[in-house]
């Protein structure tokens, strides 16, 4: 066993370290440093610019919680847009729905997709699904410029708002998404740690509320991420996140490891000390 | 700013590091190494045998979630026993209830209490409450031998099941608690990370179910602890954790920062992938 460790550092004050058995990839793309490690505790992990993005062991927490709240409540889910999502886990969860006719995924960094296909095949299992249209390109430009039919669901599966993902948390990006979202559509995204990055979390909720009319944060554990407790935000002009479509949920629960209807309701309870962070 | 870091290591595979501005205490007691640090992110933190126990910044998560589920559901709460709890946060939350007549706290390590009184005064604010009987002694021996009136609530606020706290997770300890618990009483404890220490978590639920008749795990974030997502277990022969006494809860909600009735219900939803861990 090696004695090499990977450290992720936040605010120059907190570190999360994983022991590494083997470095499988360490390459600079035009956008960021892309690394894949074999670790004893989390299996294979993907890091972008020294930040852990996903692991074989715990990825289901993140991907199920990003996808199923939107997909089990939106009245139509025929056309879905994913911004980011290069590891393939979000597309995998989307493809569990027979109602999904097309998924357009816009990932800026082709190396992330290639690395995930090669080293993380258990995460991205739906790359060959004919319903997937994969675009290697800039998601911010896409939502502002693409001349396409509206989407029923838009998911932002982006990394932290630094480096290539920085503009994903700005108003111009959200306005672009709103432009492409069907009137009864649902937008959802990961919105950072409500403990460690409470300000970003609050900004996302306020911004999505402003652009989409209503925003509902929800919460769940992601052991790989700093502080371990993560937020997501569900935004829609018309869809109530509590109005789960039972027939659809019941089918997808055959496949999920964490998400189900009892947990769904519980996740949307906003803890008291976070309510101030999302106030107008 | 110094460049010193404190690292907590688990399973020789995961590390959690905090930058340290200043070491306020580093002393060996008869039981363990007791350290208090000043940190930029969590304020002052207490570590026992190189494991982080509590911090000024996030302690309310842990203490409120340990105390209020039991205290807002037990029919009587006049007599409460705390095993461990040397930082004083659990006693502080208990003393918010006028119905509490006596709290007996049995902490094995006097140095933990002294260090907390000196360096963490914002956590233990109720040391001088005349309802507190503080015993520096062995909690395992106490529950097996003490010749006292039964308690309405017993809380295990112990450290991880290594070092002096090892026996706190064994059947002999639980039998002792059961002996001292009133027939309509409630027992609650922290039961480790369901992600990182899933086996210990499952063992606690099974053991408390066996000894007390029913056990109900619940969950919440504790950013200072490994994996960030923590479990607690509520056990009682007769009390349903969902039957919250509203008048009592309404009063204590004036003081809590995280716990309240909407969160209470949500915390007791057991995620799908953890249900297998607690099966018989």
Considering all CA atoms of chain A, what is the largest pairwise distance in Å, rounded to the nearest integer? 55
Average pLDDT of the segment spanning A246-275: 97
Chain B residues with a Cβ under 8 Å from any Cβ in chain A:
5, 7, 11-19, 39-41, 58, 60, 195-196, 219, 221, 223, 227-229, 256-260, 262-263, 265-267, 269, 271-273
Report the alpha-carbon distance of residue A110 to residue A27 in Å, rounded. 12
Q: Do the chains contact at A227 and B228, CB–CB below 8 Å?
A: yes
Residue among B5, B12, B266 whose CB faces A15 most closely: B5
The residue extents of the domains of chain B are 4-55, 59-278
Predicted confidence at residue B2, as pLDDT, reads 55
pLDDT tens digits, A68-79? 999 999 999 999
Predicted confidence at residue B1, as pLDDT, reads 45
Q: Do the chains contact at B272 and A265, CB–CB below 8 Å?
A: no
Predicted confidence at residue B269, as pLDDT, reads 98
- Provide, as residue numbers in chain B, all residues whose Cβ is less than 8 Å from the Cβ of A221: 195, 219, 221, 227-229
Q: Tell me, what's the ipTM?
A: 0.94
Asked if A155 and A74 touch (Cβ cutoff 8 Å), the reply is no
CA distance A257 to chain B (A): 6
Supply the CATH classification number for the domain A4-55: 2.30.140.10
How many CB pairs below 8 A link A and B? 111
* Residue spans of chain B under pLDDT 70: 1-2
Predicted confidence at residue B280, as pLDDT, reads 82
What are the angstrom distances between the C-alpha of A98 and each of A78, A94, A250, A251, B225? 9, 9, 13, 10, 40
pLDDT tens digits, B35-64? 999 999 999 999 999 999 999 999 999 999
Give A169's pLDDT tier (boundaries 50, 70, 90): confident
- Provide, as residue numbers in chain B, all residues whose Cβ is less than 8 Å from the Cβ of A60: 273
Report the alpha-carbon distance of residue A156 to residue A94 in Å, rounded. 13
- Provide, as residue numbers in chain B, all residues whose Cβ is less than 8 Å from the Cβ of A256: 272
In this predicted structure, the answer to whether residue A103 has a pLDDT above a threshold of 70 is yes
Nearest-5° Cα angle at A38, A33 to A42: 105
Give A2's pLDDT tier (boundaries 50, 70, 90): low
- Provide, as residue numbers in chain A, all residues whose Cβ is less than 8 Å from the Cβ of B195: 58, 221, 223, 228
pLDDT tens digits, B67-111? 999 999 999 999 999 999 999 999 999 999 999 999 999 999 999
What are the angstrom distances between the C-alpha of A89 and each of A40, A147, B249? 21, 27, 41
Q: Do the chains contact at A272 and B265, CB–CB below 8 Å?
A: no
Tokens encoding A7:
């450290």
CATH 3.40.50.150 is held by the domain B59-278: yes
Predicted confidence at residue A167, as pLDDT, reads 81
Average pLDDT of the segment spanning A181-197: 96
Q: Is the overall model pTM greater than 0.90, yes or no? A: yes
Predicted confidence at residue A227, as pLDDT, reads 87
In this predicted structure, the answer to whether residue A251 has a pLDDT above a threshold of 80 is yes
Predicted confidence at residue B165, as pLDDT, reads 77
């Amino acid at each position: 066993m090696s004695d090499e460790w990977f450290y992720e550092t936040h605010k120059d004050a907190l570190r999360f370290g994983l022991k590494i058995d083997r470095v499988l990839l360490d390459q600079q793309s035009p956008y960021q440093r892309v690394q894949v490690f074999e670790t004893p505790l989390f299996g294979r992990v993907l890091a972008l610019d020294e930040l852990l993005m996903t692991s074989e062991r715990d990825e289901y927490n993140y991907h199920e919680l990003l996808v199923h709240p939107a997909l089990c409540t939106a009245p139509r889910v025929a056309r879905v847009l994913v911004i980011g999502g290069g590891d393939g886990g979000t597309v995998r969860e989307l493809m569990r729905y027979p109602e999904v006719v097309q998924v357009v995924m816009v990932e800026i960094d082709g190396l992330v997709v290639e690395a995930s296909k090669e080293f993380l095949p258990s995460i991205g299992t739906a790359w060959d699904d004919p319903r997937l249209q994969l675009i290697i390109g800039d998601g911010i430009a896409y939502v502002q410029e693409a001349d396409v039919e509206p989407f029923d669901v838009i998911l932002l599966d982006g990394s932290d708002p630094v480096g290539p993902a920085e503009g994903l948390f700005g108003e111009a990006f959200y306005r672009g998404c709103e432009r492409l979202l069907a009137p009864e559509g649902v937008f959802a995204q990961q919105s950072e740690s409500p403990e460690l990055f409470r300000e970003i979390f609050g900004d996302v909720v306020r911004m999505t509320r402003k652009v989409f009319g209503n925003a509902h944060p929800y919460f769940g554990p992601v052991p790989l991420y700093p502080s371990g407790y993560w937020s997501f935000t569900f935004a829609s002009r018309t869809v109530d996140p509590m109005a789960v479509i039972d027939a659809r949920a019941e089918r997808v629960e055959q496949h999920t490891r964490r998400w189900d209807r009892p947990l769904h309701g519980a996740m949307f309870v906003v803890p008291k000390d976070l309510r101030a962070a999302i106030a107008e």
